[in-house]
Structure 1
Amino acid sequence: MKVLILGGVAAGTKAAAKFKREDRSADVTILTKDKDISYAGCGLPYYVGGLIESREELIVNTPEKYTALTGVKVITGMEATALHAEKKTVTVRKQDDGEVQELAYDKLIIATGASPVLPPIEGIEQEGIFSVRTPEDAIRIRSFVSDGGVKRAVVVGGGFIGLEMAENLKAQGVSVTVIDAAGQLLPEIFDPEMAGYIKKHLTQKGIRVLINTKALRFAGSGRVTGVQTEGMLLPCEMTIMAVGIRPNTAFLQGSGVELEQGKVLVDQQLRTNLEDVYAVGDCAMVTNRITGKRQWSPMGSSANLEGRTLAQVLAGKEKRYPGVLGTGIVKLPELNCGRTGLTEAQAQAAGYDVVTALMVTDDKAHYYPDSSNFIIKLLADRASHKLLGAQVLGTGSVDKLIDMAVTGIQLNARLEDYENGDFAYAPPFSTAIHPFVQAVYVLLNKLSGELVSMTPKEYLDGKAADYTVIDVNPSPSIRGARYINLTEVNGPIDGIGKDEKLLLVCRRGKRAYLLQNRLRYFGYTNTAVLEGATYFSDVRVKNAQAAVSPEEITRVKALGFLWDKNSPDRFNGRVITRNGKITADESAAIAEAAQRFGNGEITMTTRMTLEIQGVPFENIEPLQEFLAQAGLQTGGTGSKVRPVVSCKGTTCQYGLIDTFALSEAIHERFYLGYRDVKLPHKFKIAVGGCPNNCVKPDLNDLGIVGQRVPEVDMEKCRGCKVCQIEKVCPVHAASVQDKKIVIQPEVCNHCGRCIGKCPFKAFVNYTNGYRIYIGGRWGKKVARGQYLGKVFTNESEVLDVVEKAILLFREQGITGERFADTVARLGFENVQEQLLGNGLLERKAENIAAQKHLKGGATC
């Protein structure tokens, strides 16, 4: 039998290898357009991020190695251009010389995969715009990041690949913005409220996310400089296009193969409508296991399963491919997100009376080190209790829970089948009652009426508008809510009617459920527990007049909102301006935000951030969301690197260096890049363009001052009686001695005023550079910084010293002390020696990973 396979990545190579094992006598040939076969496409983002170090690790098999292992012939660099089913031939063209030939087959397998969609957007052909599909794509991206000075990237598309690329670009120190035209991340993959939690988490981890945002144009002249949307221009040096993929099936037009939007339709034996023609992988449209309806699921896992099953079918075995569940998982910064089965909308569209439950549970024994939480959403059919889907978020083994759901769905399990599941337990791995089983219990209690609850989706949709919010936390935590101490409820509660609508809310849901049980016993008939509680949802009480709790004041301070002590619930929100410079559009957005969410007033802080004044507590998150749509963010508080301050630099008559460019680089690399790095105290940086020191760099933890070091040509010095250099020097470092100009190096501040002032051209040449001050401080205890004994002439060297200073402060500082105190304690000479050496950078990974300064010393 002569089997011809078009495509050699996952499905094609799996089908070929398995069939060759089934029938060693078969003549099996793979044709592939690429030079690589069987590469790890799903691993490409992790090569970009550096977790996978070499290209070779991405290549599962080379053609030579694969042929030796399997006996399958592989021909690379050859593309199929037409199928002639009536003749059982395929027309192919060589990539290198264009030679065309026809190849015959007995059985044909179409496994041509899919390619990234590149929409016809103006400017998309420019350098710096990438898609992610092959190892060569990943190699080009990683090289571009390391060689091209990439500080900012925009990822267009909020699906699996887009978010994985965002995480891995961030790991390389790139500031990332993700935009998606849809109203949520991961549409049709996660339910909206789960996607909303993911979006909030990414924002907290330093990845800006803009939904309902479409790329309209790519700015730049040959190399991308920004992405234009309806509301703003997003500056960037790189763009990743991850808006989706399209099946590689154009060559099948007119062949008679049945297609649906380019996907090849197949039955359960992966046969097309043409005799002896089959299709597998990303180019094939299979079915959904639950609904039986057509579903496209371009995943590496299903491609391999389809390839293996088809090989068995070709070998004459009674095998069928039952379809897909759309199972998927994605790793994000400190959050794993998995799903399988139907979403809530998909289940409703399929005709199910769907019931859901969302709960927060421990991911292992709560007392075990590094224990965390799972957020689990289960979906089931109300009548049959059949499990329909699962979505899980958490820092731990999310895949384990998803795989439990997959197994159950494939076996047509009811919720009751999980009820007493004897799953593995030990404190390092799980809880005594497995987290998945706990979620099943919640859903069963909801179905039986033992639990009456409100889902996060219902809460977001306003169902709680006429409910009284009851705070069931161990201590009052929800501003404006009626607090009830669970342990003291032993009868009816004064002031609350038994038919009053009560929304019971705690941290994760358990205490609220226990209170509901007690209240039911005492005759209360209209209570609902908020699923996921405050761990998942932002609970707000309308028109709350109560003071904001100390815990909430601390929480929002980390977001850049400082409490106005003259009010019970008003805050001033700091808007980061990236060195005090903003665009007219950004200024307009800030002004509109102040009117909408604050009291209409804006103030400038001494750190050149803008503060929107008088923001009510309940307006904090809406204000942040509004500003994010304009490309702005709040922050600038806490024990970490603070936003950099800059003077006007070269736009000033005395400016020697481009302080805006340097401070922008510092902002991207250290304020954004180090936003999750905890320090002993705040770390302030200022950049001055000249020794006039308008922004007081020497009174910051680290200051950078522009320098212009004169290169004196003594042969041209005439020793004039009235020396113009001596006359113009503002610090009196220059004087004529023995008929020659003398510059006192310990006095000269390299202001550059002398350059060009000598009529005999003794002061023409100069070197621009930077002087770095460390250990300055302003406030209760003033400390003037000392400068390092070197004038730096290279900006990258300056940035390295800044990074080493931050690392030294984190590694050797004592929690609560300022950098000035660290320098004084260690000794200036010791610190200088470390900042000029390489040891701190060599220890960087270990330093950053250490659990240190978890509660720093900054109070503002």
Structure 2
Amino acid sequence: MNLLVIGGVAAGTKVAAKAKRVMPDAKVTIVTKGKDISYAGCGLPYYVGELIEGKDQLIVNTPAKFSALTGALVQTEREVTRLDVKEKKAVVRNLRTGGEEIYTYDACVIASGASSIVPPFTGVNLPGVFTMRTPDDAIESREYLKANQVKKAVVVGGGFIGLEVAENLLAQGVSVTVMDMAPQIMPGFDPEMADYAVRHLAKKGIRVLTSTKLEGITGTLKAEGVQTDKGHLPADMVILSIGIRPNTGFLQDTGIEMFKGTILVDEKLRTNVPDVYAAGDCAMVTNRLTGARQWSPMGSSANMEGRTLALALNGEEVSYPGVLGTGVVKLPGLNGGRTGLTEEAAKAAGYDVETVLSVTDDKAHYYPDSSFFAVKLIADRKSRRLLGLQVLGPGAVDKMTDIAVMAITFGGTLEQMTSLDLAYAPPFSTAIHPFTAAVQILLNKMNGVMDSFTPAEYMAGAADDYRIIDVNPAGPTIPGVTYVDLTAVDAQVLANPRGEIPGLGKDEKLLLVCAKGKRAYLLQNRMKHYGYTNTRVLEGSSFFNVIRTGNAAGQVTVSPEEITRVKALGCLHNKGTDNFNVRVITRNGKVTAEENRRIADAAARYGSGDVVMTTRLTMEIVGVPYDKLDELRDFLAEGGLETGGTGSKVRPVVSCKGTTCQYGQLDSYALSEKIHERFYHGYHEVKLPHKFKIAVGGCPNNCVKPDLNDFGIVGQRIPSYNVDICRGCGKCQVEDICPMEAARVVDGKLIIDKEKCNNCGRCVGKCPFKAVDDGIYGYKVYIGGRWGKKTAHGKALSKVFTGEEEVLAVLEKAILLFREQGKTGERFADTVNRIGFAEVEAQLLGDEILSRKDEIIGAQLHLKGGATC
């Protein structure tokens, strides 16, 4: 057989390699447009984030290595321009020589893959605009990221690749905004699951803007921002992850049946044209549940299709059953997995759909690093079979997803899944496996044992006329609602002549809310026993849902958990109200005119109309109602602004005017912006024992109190004095100008007392005879200062630094030392005092602590932190 394979990445190389193994005598030729074959397309975001270090690691096989291993001929940099299905030949342009080549075949496999969609907007070809489809894309974007010191990036597209790129850019210290024209991110997940992910990403520092259309890239010599239908987003770098389009343009006149550019194939991967097959991202297969056509451009599917096709070409009775749409995605601190049908797709396919959302432990709750799974199951009431699963959690969501794949594939019923003999040990799972627990909850719901509202129903307002009952195990946590102690219910009912829980009528509509849903279900069970007829459990309860309750005044009352959550986003609660002050990060109080207008508009639209400055030179929009916080943050994000500046982290830096002041020895604004990007943004995810404040003063006047911050930098100008030039004037200009009285004439010569001199530089150039005519610019560093309840003056390091990068290195060492050696809840001043200034100074002036940077940042330290404001 003469087998021609068009395309050499996943499906193409798989079918070629397998064909040579089962048909050793076959002539197998791969022609591919790229210079690389078999590259790790799904690994590209992790090369950008430097988790994959070397370029060579992206290439699974080189053409020469692949040929030697398999016996297939690989022809790279060949573009197929026309396929002649009657003559059974492909017309190919050699991209190296420009010449035309002809390749004949007995069988042809089209595995030409897909390419990134680049919309025809202005600016898409500017430097700094990238797609993420080939190794070159990842390599060039990483090089640009480093060479241009990118501080802000916009990722256009909220699919898996876009979100993974966003995570990796965030890890590189870049401020990231993800935008998508769709109403949600994470296609293939239901809206409530995507909404939870958006809230999680916001907490991690990634802004997400949905229902936002790209209109163009701004900039002249390079990308400077993204223009959307809602405003302008400043950006130093833009990643276009809008989607992909099959590479099938060369097939237009072949008669091959296609749909929206994809090649339609049957279970043998055959097209409608004899001896022409297709596999991978250019082919459309079927959904194995519904039998409907489905495009599933995944590397896993491509490999399986390639293997099946090779066996079929060898005459074996095999077929490809189609896809379930299985996928997993890694987000910062959260993973997502899905398989099968979404709730909407299942209903559209005609199933009698029931769903449930359960939140369970992902391993034994007492085991270190145990966390959660939020699992949504979709099932058919009639057949009792599983139709789909979606799961979110920090851990092994792939495990949960793969169990569901097997359950769906082999058609097991929910009842059969309740007794699966799944692996258990505390480091890996719970005694009742999380998958089994979710199935059991779903069966309880289907069998009428549990009556509930799903998060989707709750978001849609299904519970608006229900009275919320707080069933949290730790006591009342939802303000303004009735609390019921589950453990006291039996005694309360037995003691009540009417057989009721005090204050709760048996026919009243009651929504039962606890931490994750279990105690709410247990309470419902007891209440049904005592004759309550209209109770509903909120699936996922306060863990998964944003709980909003109406109080007597008709206002929104926000739970303490929500107050804590939004506080981490820079939204500070006004006690006694449902309003918040929202901190807008302004890079040291400096905003552009456009940003200032955006902040003013935001205050007018969403707040009281007032904007106040904090002592840290951030701006606070006053009086924003709780239910407007998300809208406000989205509105600010559309203008390139972010909220934050709270928590046990590096706080926004504060500085004086620097060289715009007559005394300024350094450009405080420029230095503070570097610190802001490198340490406020770059260390955004690094939890510290407490808040860490940084101040930059342009001179020793200390206008921004550098010595009352955890780390203070003061501009210096150390006078250079030439005693041989001094004439011992009776009225010395240097002595007169010195504010510290460090300069004085003694025995006819000027003396400068270095103990008194604060290196303010005022004396430089004041001597008419040029005895003090020069000065060395430098930086004095103070550590361990603070102000507030317990004021402490920082102490200066003994060395005056003369290089900016040297100072920034000392600052980074101070942050790392505080993280590693500070105790949770103590300020840096306490750490310095406890360890000893001399020991801290020795570590800051040495380099050993920097050598352990990755170890210190990666350690599980200060998970709670000590900052309260």
Q: TM-score, normalised by structure 2?
A: 0.93
- Pairing 1:508–2:516 present: yes
Of the candidates 478, 484, 493, which is equivalent to residue 501 of structure 2? 493
Match of 1:182 in 2: 182
Equivalence map 1:316-355=2 (5 Å): 316-355=315-354
Q: Are positions 1:680 and 2:679 aligned together?
A: no
Correspondence 1:537 to 2:545 = yes
- Choose 754-763 or 839-848, whichever is displaced more: 754-763
* Secondary structure, counterpart of 2:217 in structure 1: strand
CA contact (8 A) 2:472 2:519 kept: yes
Q: In structure 2, how many angstroms separate the alpha carbons of the residues matched to 1:766 and 1:323?
A: 76
**What does residue 253 of structure 1 align with?**
252
Alignment partner, residue 613 of structure 2: 604
Change beyond 3 A, Cα 1:239–1:791: farther
Q: Which moved more, 1:339-348 or 1:231-240?
A: 231-240
1:139-193 per-position Cα deviation (integer Å, ceiling 9, x unaligned): 2222333333222222111111111111112222222221222211123x11111
Aligned partner of 2:585 in structure 1 is 576
* Residues in 1 aligned to 2:730 and 2:621: alpha-carbon distance in whole angstroms: 59
**Residue type at the aligned position of 2:534:** N
SS at match of 1:170: helix
3-state SS, counterpart of residue 356 of structure 1: strand
Please list, as runs of the form range in 1=range in 2, the aligned pairs for 1:587-598 lying within 5 A after superposition: 587-595=596-604, 597-598=606-607
Aligned position for 1:482: 482
Aligned residue for 1:444, secondary structure, equals helix
Aligned to 2:493: none
Question: 1:151·1:665 contact (CA, 8 Å) conserved in 2?
Answer: no
Alpha-carbon distance in 1 for matches of 2:834, 2:122: 57
2:385 matched to 1:377? Answer: no
Q: Is the 8 A contact 1:756 1:763 kept in 2?
A: yes
CA distance in 1, matches of 2:750, 2:137: 60
Q: Measure the CA separation in 2 of the matches of 1:221 and 1:846.
A: 41
- Contact 1:479–1:544 (CA<8 Å) still a contact in 2? no
Instruction: State how far apart, in whole Å, the 2-side matches of 1:834 and 1:596 are.
Output: 50
Q: Deviations over 1:481-506 (max 9, x none)?
A: 22122222234233333222111111
Answering whether residue 48 of structure 2 is matched by residue 40 of structure 1, we say no
d(CA) in 1 for partners of 2:312, 2:727: 97
Q: Report the RMSD for the aligned CA atoms in angstroms.
A: 2.7
Which residue number corresponds to residue 52 of structure 2?
Answer: 52
Give the structure 2 partner of residue 162 of structure 1: 162
Identity of counterpart residues, as a percentage?
Answer: 64
What's the TM-score, normalizing by structure 1? 0.94
What's the CA shift for 1:536? 0.4
How far 1:846 sits from its partner (Å)?
2.1
Where 2:463 maps in the other structure, the secondary structure is: helix
Moved more, 469-478 or 3-12: 469-478
**Whole-angstrom CA distance in 1 between matches of 2:122 and 2:748:** 66
CA distance in 2, matches of 1:179, 1:716: 66
Q: Deviation per CA, 1:16-60: give whole Å up to 9, x if none.
A: 011111111000011122222111111111222222222232222
Which runs of structure 2 are paired with 1:111-130 in the superposition (5 Å)?
A: 111-130=111-130
Partner of 2:275: 276
Matches within 5 A, 1:66-465: 66-187=66-187, 189-465=188-464
CA distance 1:591–1:456, shift in 2 (3 Å): same
Cα distance change, pair 558–795 in 1 and its aligned pair in 2 (3 A): same
Instruction: Tell me if the contact between 2:376 and 2:391 (Cα under 8 Å) persists in the aligned partners.
Output: yes
Question: 2:318 aligns to what SS in structure 1?
Answer: coil
TM superposition shift of 1:723: 5.8
| Cα separation, partners in 2 of 1:73 and 1:553, compared to 1, 3 Å | closer
1:680-829 aligned within 5 A: 680-709=689-718, 728-733=737-742, 744-754=753-763, 767-829=776-838
Secondary structure of the residue aligned to 1:102 is: strand
Distance 1:199 1:24 in 2: 51
Residues 1:794 and 1:34: Cα distance change in structure 2 (over 3 Å): farther
2:271 and 2:726 map into 1 onto residues whose CA distance is: 90
The AA in structure 1 aligned to 2:24 is: R
Q: Letter of the 2:445 partner, please give it.
A: K
Q: Which residue of 2 aligns with 1:637?
A: 646
Shift of 1:728: 4.5
Contact 1:419–1:440 (8 Å) recurs in 2? yes
SS state of the match for residue 501, structure 2? coil
- Report which stretch shifted further, 588-597 or 784-793: 588-597
Q: In structure 2, what is the Cα distance between the partners aligned to 1:322 and 1:550?
A: 50
Instruction: Tell me how far apart the structure 2 counterparts of residues 532 and 263 of structure 1 sit (CA, whole Å).
Output: 39
The residue aligned with 1:6 is 6
1:729–1:93 Cα change, 3 Å: farther
Cα offset, 1:633, TM superposition = 3.7
The whole-number CA distance in structure 1 between the counterparts of 2:778 and 2:343 is: 61
Q: Which amino acid aligns with 2:305?
A: E
2:610 partner letter: E
3-state SS of paired residue (1:464):
coil
Structure 2 distance, partners of 1:547, 1:285, is 50
Counterpart residue type for residue 28 of structure 1: V
Other structure's SS at 1:319 match: coil
Q: Is the 8 A contact 1:390 1:402 kept in 2?
A: yes
Whether the 8 Å contact between 2:546 and 2:562 is mirrored in structure 1 is no
The unaligned stretches of length 5 or more in structure 1 are none
Q: C-alpha distance in 1, partners of 2:282/2:516?
A: 43
Deviation by residue 1:634-693 (Cα, 9 ceiling, x = unmatched): 333333222211222333344343323322222222223323333233211111223332
Contact 1:548 1:568 (8 Å CA) reproduced: no
The answer as to whether partners of 1:232 and 1:631 remain within 8 angstroms in 2 is no
Indicate if the aligned counterparts of 1:5 and 1:12 stay in contact, CA closer than 8 A. yes
Code of the aligned partner of 1:24: P
8 Å CA contact 1:40, 1:58 repeated in 2? yes
Q: CA deviation at 1:13?
A: 0.6
Which residue of 2 is the match for residue 660 of structure 1? Answer: 669
- Structure 1's 339 and 555: CA in aligned 2 closer, same or farther, altered over 3 A? closer
C-alpha separation between the residues in 2 aligned to 1:644 and 1:815?
Answer: 22
Contact 1:639 1:681 in 2 (8 A): yes
CA shift in 2, pair 1:547/1:80, >3 Å: closer
**How far does residue 205 in structure 1 lie from its aligned partner after superposition?**
1.3
CA displacement 1:317-355 (0-9 Å, x = unmatched): 122111111111011111110001111222222222322
Secondary structure of the residue aligned to 1:338 is: strand
Quote the residue 2:570 is aligned against.
560
Q: Verify: 1:840 aligned to 2:839, yes or no.
A: no
* 1:244 Cα offset (Å): 1.0
Amino acid in structure 2 at the alignment position of 1:774: I
Letter in 1 for 2:549: V
CA–CA separation in structure 2 for the residues paired with 1:13 and 1:310: 12
What SS class does the counterpart of residue 224 from structure 2 fall into? strand
Deviations 1:532-584 (A, max 9, x none): 1111001110246698666665555444344445x265544433323122334
Q: Which letter maps to 1:336?
A: N
> Cα distance, 1:738 vs. partner?
8.2
Once residues 519 and 390 of structure 2 are traced to their aligned partners in structure 1, the CA distance between those partners, rounded to angstroms, is 23
Q: Partners of 1:267 and 1:102 in 2: how far apart?
A: 28
1:531: Cα distance to partner?
Answer: 0.9
> By how many angstroms is 1:308 displaced?
0.5
How far, CA to CA, are the matches of 1:767 and 1:515 in structure 2? Answer: 74
Does structure 2 retain, via aligned residues, the 8 Å contact 1:232–1:585? no
How many residue pairs were aligned?
A: 858
Please identify, of 537-546 and 710-719, the stretch whose mean Cα deviation from structure 2 is larger.
710-719
* Cα distance in 1, alignment partners of residues 552 and 56 from structure 2: 60
SS at match of 1:387: strand
For each residue in 1:729-784, what CA deviation from the matched residue of structure 2 results, as whole angstroms up to 9, or x when unmatched?
44455566788776554444444445565667777765544322212222344332
Residues 1:792 and 1:414: Cα distance change in structure 2 (over 3 Å): same
SS at match of 2:549: coil
1:461: Cα distance to partner?
0.9
Counterpart residue type for residue 223 of structure 2: V
Deviations 1:366-391 (A, max 9, x none): 22222211111011223222321110
CA offsets 1:36-95 (integer angstroms, 9 cap, x no match) = 211111111122222222223222222222112111111122221111111111111122
